[in-house]
Structure 1
Amino acid sequence: MDKLLFYLSCTILLGLSRSTSEPNAYAPEIISTLQNSRDIPLFRGSIQEDETTVHLEPQLFARDNDTVGAARLICRYEIVANRKNIPFEIELKNRETGEGVLKVREGEHLNFEKRKHYKFNIFAYDCVDPPYSKRSNRAVVTVKVLDVDKFAPVFDKTTYSADLLEGTVSSNIIQVHAHDDDRSPENSGICGYDIVSDDAPFLITNDGILQNTKSVYHTDHYSFILKIRARDCRGMVSEPAYINIMVKEKCRNGWTDFPDHIEYTPGTGRHTLTDSAHLQVCEESCTVDRVTVKMTLQTKHIGKGCDRDTYSIISQRKLCGASDGSVDLLPAPTLTSNWTNAIPTDDGNDGDKIYAFDGETNHVVVPEGHVDHTLREHFTISTWMKHSPSDGTHTKHTHSGKEHLLCMSDGDGMSRHHYALFIHNGKLVFVLRRESAKESDLEVFKPAEWRWKISEVDDGQWHHYAFTMNFPELHLYVDGKLVEATQDNFEILDDWPLHPTDRVHFTKLVVGACWKGLDETYVDHFHGFVAGLSLLKDRTESERVIQCLNNCQENLDFTDLEDMPSGTSVSFNSDMTEFSITGRNASDVEMLVRKVAYVNNRNFPTPGRRNLNIRTSVHCGQIEEILPLKESYIFVEHSSKPVITVTGKNLVLGHQSELDTGLPVFKDVSIHVDFMLASNSVEDSEDESEEIGNDTSDMHDADANTSLLDNKIPAVDDSVDSSSTKILLDMCTVRAEPVLDFYVEHLELPKDDIKTFNMKLEGIETAAGLVILNADTIENYMTVLHDIRYIHTQAGDLYMRKFVISCSSQSGRFVSNEFEINVGARQVEEEPRVVPVANIQNSGAQQSIVEPKFQNHLAGAAGTNFGMVAIIVVCVGFLLFMIVLGVLRIRAAHHHRRVPTNDNGQEMEWDNSELNIIVNPIDQELFEYEEHPHKATLPDDSDTDDDISECFQDDEDNDSSEEEMETAVKTLEWDDSAY
């Protein structure tokens, strides 16, 4: 027994010795003075939602009974929870004591309104390798989030409206209400309301009830606008709200103080229809629960229902900043694009070409050289279209009931539609069949047909349609507004892609029908009107540009949608010419009507009368009372008419070498604009305005969105500086008289300059001259004109070439003067030989005659005085000899070479009854300039030959010689009958 006890004692001592000497014998232990019901250590914490450190009770510590090495140290804490998103972490402060601090994890934010309490477990780990091999006991932590008053009160509405009967004191005019988004009771309460407005006979209770302190009368104040604020119990104050109090006078049904007409001055921007109109609805007989006002502006007599189309479609696109790559599929016929010749057009300006399709025979084939037919994943198709339901008479070539506006199909072998735009059973349909090059895509089903059921398709009115494709997303804009797709108005059908085939060798792109390649016939013709059909490939047009192209420059305007009273609504049509306003009472409706304005952003709107009708109805339960029709009108006054003037040098001379390479004959041309004030009286224009209202043929020009170029023209008078007022030109013509002979002469456009300046101008050259098109600034037009070169390869035969320049704006509405420029050749190749003769004139002066052989070499007035003395000596020495031989030389020279003929082949006549100086026709122009300087421009005479007449001048008296020269000029006889 003693041995057994000894053995046990040794074993126990040995075990104790081993346990105390092992490096990681004990696990960490979390210590807390608080415990839950299961004796688990407990920590309670609290933190405000804007703090980052939790206040724990008690403070967090952990210990490890190991005495040596890393085993006695605490290395980290772990948070374990059943729920995710615990936004806390424990930061270890001391490894020896295991002190830890509970903090909000970086990037996390506490929100009392979202979560108020957190509960989770924590564990501690020692530092022995392998890491964290021993874990402590479990401890429980609860954290309470404390609310911070961070939200100020907010009113339920920003604007309140109320009525107050004049002469009464009301204890409950209206009650307002504000709320606080803080959740805690101490922070979420509203403790009071205050009126900020000064000197208002009103007070508001802490419950938000508005009262007036004394009687008010309509004659003194027809309304009050009170600014109010709400405050919570911690003192935070709300943003202001407003109470609009209408002081009601004695009841009279109908509108009062609504003007019978409004005069509108072009260039003045928004013009409110009324600032003082009052709608009175008596409620003695019934309780009014709804008031409706419909305002209609009559503009259908102008253009396409709007004063819009001043410039061509191409120019409108430029003004709106549209993409450059857009291609017009229905261009106006020119020498280079004449495939639209066969389609009937309206009687409007070419700048707004409208094509009429009869639904039976006519269509247009767009050449592939004009545009690549293929469409890919990104493009925009846009057009103006007017279409009415079929009456059954146009069915000859419409087998399927489809009316194709646009169709690209196989040209031969097959009849597949690659893409198409058509109308079918009141639906607008777009088809796009993908052409896949990958075999893996051939069996992939993807969207191929998009259908819209919209009323605009068949309403017989002009509408603008734009299809923007970012495959497979296709958006439709009608009149600049995106069509919201719903189950009732939109559907998409999927289909296979087109499979590659060797049977088809080309395709056809047709406007107004569809080509059936297998039968080689045109089918499904379109019946309606189309204008401005354009295609933008491989990119899409921005929504801003689409809206700009549709912006009607003349419309009603309403901008205060955010300040509308509760229970009111405002609706309007796409052209902004019909407004419907509905409210619970007359005062609300009246307030909204006062915010309606008339806008006409055209620089030069069509003057005249636009009728404005106001229809008002009052609903009392099931009873509707229609108030008398209120008729008014807007009179658009005449704007200051721009007068475009082209000026410059009338005579341009060039050497043969210059004409061979190109002479800038228009480099001195200048274009400027003045404004002529027109009559603005209503009485003087009543008859004219009525004619305008009934005649649509003159209303075809209207404006694009020129505000994008910041060239709005203000109302001006005679004092306006035209240099600061911008208008756009849209055409300049250079007319050649007679027509150009392309074998030896032509006009050359500065294509490089146009590209360099990024101008969107186009030039067309014919034998009749040159045409520059599209809306652009005067400066850009002048740049192009200055760099146009006139080339004549046989300048020696050139007598005189005339060009006539004319420019216009707004599709010919404003046209400049016709400015003439004469172009001639100047030659300095030989010195002329002089034959002095004695010619007895009334003045008794001696003169000289130039051989006809050299008469084209004289192009100026007096030459240089170089060698004057020697010339005089020679002249005097041979004077008698010249008198004898003069007449003989004249006759011989006359038969040897005749004066060049004019374009009609008519020869110039030489009258030798008296001895006169023979002068180049160009010199005659110069002489005419001396007598009539306003009719011609004197050319530079620095390169002219010596003046032969100096042989007979006194070199010491230049003034006298100039007077003699002038006298001689006046006696010259030039027969211009052939010109």
Structure 2
Amino acid sequence: MNNILVEVQRNLRHEPSTRTFVKSGCYPRIGVINPDSILDIPYLELAEPDEGYHGLIRENETLVEVRPTIRARGPLCSFLILNNKHHGEAPFEIMVIDENEARLRVRYPLNCEKRRNYKFDIAAVGCDGSYSNTVPVHITVTDVNEFAPIFSQAAYVRSVDEGKIYDEIVKVEATDRDCTPRYGDICKYEILTDRSQPFTINNEGVIRNTEPLDYEKSHNHILSVVAYDCGMMQSAPVMVTIKVNKPCRAGWKGIAERVDYAPGTGPLALFPAARLEACSSDERCPGVTRIQAAVTLQASRVGVACDRDTYTLQAQKSICGMESNTIDLLPSPGVGNEWTKSLKPDSGRDGEQMFEFDGESTSAVVPESLMKHTLGTTFSVSTWLRHAPPPDHDKHRKEHILCLADDHKMNRHHYALFVRNCRLILLLRRDFGEGDLNIFRPAEWRWKLPEVCDDEWHHYAVNVRFPNVELYVDGELYRALDGKGPEVIDDWPLHPAHGINTTLVVGACWQGTESDMKHHLHGWMAGLGVVEGEVQSPAALRCAARCREGLSLAPDLYLKSVSVEGDGASEVETLVRRVAYGDARSFPTPGRRNVHLDTTITCDNGRVIKARPAESYVMVLSPQTPTILLNGSSDAARDYAHFRAGLPVFPDLEVKVLSRDRDSLREADTQKLDSCVVSVYPALNPDHEALALRGHSVLPASDIRATLTRDGVSLTGADTVYNYQKVLREIEYSNKKPAYYLNRVFKLTCSELNGRFTSNEYVQTLTVVHPRAAGDLHAQRPSGLADKLDAVVRDKSGEAAVAAQVPRAFAAHALHSIHSADMPSPRLLDIHHDNNNVALVIGAVCFGAVVVLIALGIARSRAARHDATSRDSRATVARHRVPANDSEMAWDDSALTITVNPMDESAPKSGVSTNGAVACDSSDESCSDSDTDRHDSSDEEDEVIQGKQHKYRNISQLEWDNSTM
């Protein structure tokens, strides 16, 4: 110790005071010298000497920031840095600022990346060479972000297949030489190229594509990628090249874009020249182990592919053998079906009877006259339904197909068929008289069906033989996948309620307490039918639900899709070429049917290649439209007796169906009509007119239903042409008061396939032959025809022979419209003289009823005075259809002037033969049938013609010259 102090003192005498002494080696710790025994010695001021000093210095700085500040007491000349061989050399020096304080600095720049921490001891040295106590110093070099990230590779290249989404195409990696995580870690990667590129990179450097790549659009995608350390220093960009492999163009060749199909020609092969390119030479698919192909038929619109767009529910009764007493609850709106006018039929489809229910207001109340409200314990309900989940996805929403509920006071639902939460539910509550009120019995059946909410058409039928209930879906008995039946809820019978009626609704349910509809159906429905007392047979349900249009590999097999599978391309090609389209209906709906072909190829190495889908479509051509011809006599004349007894309207009617393309007559037995309508206008007067079927026995033998109203007869039901012709010939018309009618005109039209093909409009006129019209052909014909036939009449053998003939009636020429009929005019009076010496006096209306009465009185008085002398000179005035040889009344025209109306264009230039008639306004109550009660239907009365419907345009009217009256 003494040697060390002596050496330090000696050195201090030769070195300046700012010099720091650094001594290597191990020295014993210099303790505190007792000031009483030694001269004053420097002393380092430090509260915790064992903790020492701590300093921080940045790589690019020279001064060390030391805490706490280095201070010493006593005589101070310098500081001594004592190096430790375990920690290496300390490149620092201590500068004495004043007598008691010093600073630490580096002798050369430090490098954090090489050495980050330093540790050494320091001691204060007095001017006399004495040493203070030693204190440790800990120095930490602070990093500076002086290095940018560097990628591990100069460039990256990867290859990908087109059409795929990759989770990772390539991973780039960069490093940073900075010594601390703050500047030495990589925190971010970024793609600098155009952001329209379908790629993205995450913070780990993983690059992936955001959309399938297309070789045709770009063979290569070149990306510029940079990395950032956590100090956000950017690296130099690296190039990443992503190559899109040229795809193996697996796909079909020889597929026609359009295939035309003529109805009635049988199955038609869709792909007779199909050829598959399987990419067997591609290195990525060295061999093929399995090829799967699926052909799918997609109708261009809903409802095209099944017979429901061709036949009505009534037609299906005969075609499929359904129960004859099946009641159609969704008939087309029209005569007799006024209660369905609130529904929304889809009129955009040929022959289809589909109704849209909007879920808010569409519904129809079924009249009790159509169907009694009680169903009993055995019944069947069937319908076509297309339904999707509710837009608001309300699982508790009820949508009723059919519902019977109380009409007021209460909201009890007696029975219902509805949809809720994609379940088809049948509710059937027993009445209070059908069992013990305290015993639970099954009351609700719930079927969980995927078909209910797939927004496709399906046929549902519920057969009930209480307590057994069966559900048929698309013609097949429904069986759950788990083998379980429907969920059945028990309930007690309804309690008795007096004075409460029920309301049956289609498409909603009536709420009696609110007097409003609730639980509306949102979807499409067609062919809703109910049969009571019987159930539909499984065969009939399969027939009603079958679709006779589709794809097949065998005859009479119609599928929506066909899948084929093989070990090689040749096997699959053979099967695909056999796929055919067919439609067994005679008159399918024309239009487009899309065909989609998907193919999957499995390679030896497990690689799966999706072949390009092939698209085609079948264009169903318009069928050879049949021409329905109705032939027969256009008019028939009969006397009063025939009209009173009833006469056939179409006695010689012939119904034929012609093929338009060949103009050849088809066999009537092979054709079916489904509707014929006989209309009459104005409507029949039920007091004395009626339409009936003479042989009621003809209907039960056929599938034709007849509806007779005041407006005519409606025949419905799919049946043969022969049966329709037979029933039409049995329609008879009767009139108890034929004297007041000129004729009755009936119009007949028939249709096939629910109105898709209609017949010509056949008009039949029944003319009333009045008794005294038999002798004057000239008077009974329209004057235009009478003038042309005068020569023919003169050639007849004589007046007696002419009178003996039954005249041919030309009543159709006397009508303004073929639907009009001549009605009696009560304002014309028939005047008959007891002695038959006074002819008929023509009454003419000249400004009012008073003038007419005066004129008639004067005419009677003058006729009495001049009866003997003026008979030959009288002007003969003949009423319509009065024979010329009858006794007549003669006018004394000495005081009477007869003026011809010059506005009558067809009036004859010579002669004053008139047929007078007073017009009767159809809106006048005096023209009602009650006014004609006084006209008996005796054979002596003449026919009265309504002026408004008179077509004898050449009959001159008489005007009174009342200047001499």
Which TM-score bucket, shorter chain as reference?
0.5 to 0.7
Amino acid in structure 2 at the alignment position of 1:421: L
Structure 1 residues 279 and 379, CA gap change in structure 2 (3 angstroms): farther
Amino acid in structure 1 at the alignment position of 2:614: K
Structure 1 residues 331 and 819, CA gap change in structure 2 (3 angstroms): closer
Q: 1:556 aligns with which of 548, 551, 555?
A: 551
Deviations 1:355-385 (Å, cap 9, x if unpaired)? 3333234433323332222233322211122
C-alpha separation in 1, matches of 2:546 and 2:740: 55
Does 1:613 pair with 2:608? Answer: no
Structure 1 residues 496 and 916, CA gap change in structure 2 (3 angstroms): closer
Does 1:797 pair with 2:740? Answer: yes
Q: 1:735 aligns with which of 674, 679, 702?
A: 679
Amino acid in structure 1 at the alignment position of 2:611: L
Amino acid in structure 2 at the alignment position of 1:419: Y
1:275 deviates by: 5.4
Does 1:648 pair with 2:629? Answer: no
C-alpha separation in 2, matches of 1:325 and 1:544: 17
Structure 1 residues 787 and 629, CA gap change in structure 2 (3 angstroms): same
Residue matched to 1:478: 473
Structure 1 residues 618 and 887, CA gap change in structure 2 (3 angstroms): farther
Residue matched to 1:79: none
Deviations 1:134-162 (Å, cap 9, x if unpaired)? xxxxxxxxxxxxxxxxxxxxxxxxxxxxx
Structure 1 residues 609 and 367, CA gap change in structure 2 (3 angstroms): closer
Instruction: For 1:88-127, list aligned pairs within 5 A.
Output: none
Does 1:428 pair with 2:424? Answer: yes
Conservation of the 8 A alpha-carbon contact between 1:749 and 1:763: no
1:659 deviates by: 0.5
C-alpha separation in 2, matches of 1:559 and 1:493: 42
Structure 1 residues 327 and 560, CA gap change in structure 2 (3 angstroms): closer
Residue matched to 1:693: none
Residue matched to 1:419: 415
Conservation of the 8 A alpha-carbon contact between 2:313 and 2:529: no
C-alpha separation in 2, matches of 1:777 and 1:834: 43
Q: 1:401 aligns with which of 378, 381, 397?
A: 397
Q: 2:691 aligns with which of 722, 729, 747?
A: 747
Residue matched to 2:876: 891
Instruction: For 1:174-189, list aligned pairs within 5 A.
Output: none
Instruction: For 1:835-850, list aligned pairs within 5 A.
Output: none
1:674 deviates by: 1.4
C-alpha separation in 1, matches of 2:735 and 2:905: 23
Residue matched to 1:511: 506
Conservation of the 8 A alpha-carbon contact between 1:428 and 1:453: yes
C-alpha separation in 1, matches of 2:295 and 2:793: 88
C-alpha separation in 2, matches of 1:438 and 1:426: 31
C-alpha separation in 2, matches of 1:339 and 1:759: 24
Residue matched to 1:317: 317
Residue matched to 1:666: 650
Q: Describe the SS at the equivalent of 2:339.
A: coil
Residue matched to 1:811: 754
Residue matched to 2:727: 784
Greater mean deviation of Cα atoms: 750-759 or 548-557: 750-759
Structure 1 residues 339 and 843, CA gap change in structure 2 (3 angstroms): closer
Structure 1 residues 358 and 813, CA gap change in structure 2 (3 angstroms): closer
Instruction: For 1:164-313, list aligned pairs within 5 A.
Output: 254-255=251-252, 261-274=258-271, 277-279=274-276, 281=278, 285-301=285-301, 303-306=303-306, 308-313=308-313
Question: Alignment identity in percent?
Answer: 34
Structure 1 residues 279 and 886, CA gap change in structure 2 (3 angstroms): farther
C-alpha separation in 2, matches of 1:409 and 1:633: 49
Deviations 1:422-454 (Å, cap 9, x if unpaired)? 221222222223347465x55554433222222
Conservation of the 8 A alpha-carbon contact between 1:266 and 1:602: yes
Residue matched to 2:615: 631
C-alpha separation in 2, matches of 1:431 and 1:490: 16
Q: Describe the SS at the equivalent of 2:739.
A: helix
Q: Describe the SS at the equivalent of 1:891.
A: coil
Structure 1 residues 582 and 912, CA gap change in structure 2 (3 angstroms): same
Does 1:859 pair with 2:807? Answer: yes
Larger radius of gyration: 2
C-alpha separation in 1, matches of 2:440 and 2:265: 56
Q: Describe the SS at the equivalent of 1:339.
A: helix
Residue matched to 1:463: 458
C-alpha separation in 2, matches of 1:850 and 1:798: 27
Residue matched to 1:954: none
Conservation of the 8 A alpha-carbon contact between 2:297 and 2:593: yes
Residue matched to 1:723: 667
Residue matched to 1:138: none
C-alpha separation in 1, matches of 2:763 and 2:880: 35
Greater mean deviation of Cα atoms: 744-753 or 657-666: 744-753
Deviations 1:570-621 (Å, cap 9, x if unpaired)? xx9xx83233334555455445434432111121234454332211111236
Residue matched to 2:44: none
Q: Describe the SS at the equivalent of 1:298.
A: strand
Conservation of the 8 A alpha-carbon contact between 1:313 and 1:352: no
Conservation of the 8 A alpha-carbon contact between 1:408 and 1:508: yes
1:624 deviates by: 1.8
Instruction: For 1:919-930, list aligned pairs within 5 A.
Output: none
Conservation of the 8 A alpha-carbon contact between 1:413 and 1:503: no
Greater mean deviation of Cα atoms: 729-738 or 524-533: 729-738
C-alpha separation in 2, matches of 1:813 and 1:355: 18
Amino acid in structure 1 at the alignment position of 2:452: V
C-alpha separation in 2, matches of 1:343 and 1:830: 53
Structure 1 residues 473 and 622, CA gap change in structure 2 (3 angstroms): farther
C-alpha separation in 1, matches of 2:288 and 2:506: 56
Amino acid in structure 1 at the alignment position of 2:358: D
1:412 deviates by: 4.7
C-alpha separation in 2, matches of 1:828 and 1:381: 58
Residue matched to 2:374: 374
Conservation of the 8 A alpha-carbon contact between 1:290 and 1:583: yes
Residue matched to 1:389: 389
Conservation of the 8 A alpha-carbon contact between 1:450 and 1:490: no
Structure 1 residues 627 and 452, CA gap change in structure 2 (3 angstroms): same
Conservation of the 8 A alpha-carbon contact between 1:300 and 1:306: no
Residue matched to 1:759: 703
C-alpha separation in 2, matches of 1:780 and 1:539: 27
Does 1:580 pair with 2:563? Answer: yes
Q: 2:532 aligns with which of 537, 541, 562?
A: 537
Does 1:824 pair with 2:758? Answer: no
Deviations 1:469-496 (Å, cap 9, x if unpaired)? 2333323223323332234986422313
C-alpha separation in 2, matches of 1:296 and 1:580: 9
Structure 1 residues 444 and 351, CA gap change in structure 2 (3 angstroms): farther
C-alpha separation in 2, matches of 1:471 and 1:341: 34
1:350 deviates by: 9.8
Amino acid in structure 2 at the alignment position of 1:601: A
Q: Describe the SS at the equivalent of 2:400.
A: strand
Specify every segment of 5 or more residues in structure 1 that has no aligned partner in the other structure, as ranges: 1-250, 562-571, 678-716, 862-883, 900-905, 919-972
Q: Describe the SS at the equivalent of 2:340.
A: coil
Structure 1 residues 547 and 834, CA gap change in structure 2 (3 angstroms): closer
Deviations 1:667-715 (Å, cap 9, x if unpaired)? 11111121122xxxxxxxxxxxxxxxxxxxxxxxxxxxxxxxxxxxxxx
Conservation of the 8 A alpha-carbon contact between 2:703 and 2:718: no
Please report the RMSD computed on the Cα atoms of aligned residues, expressed in angstroms: 4.6
C-alpha separation in 1, matches of 2:880 and 2:568: 103
Amino acid in structure 2 at the alignment position of 1:545: A
Structure 1 residues 893 and 301, CA gap change in structure 2 (3 angstroms): closer
> How many residue pairs get matched?
585
1:328 deviates by: 1.6
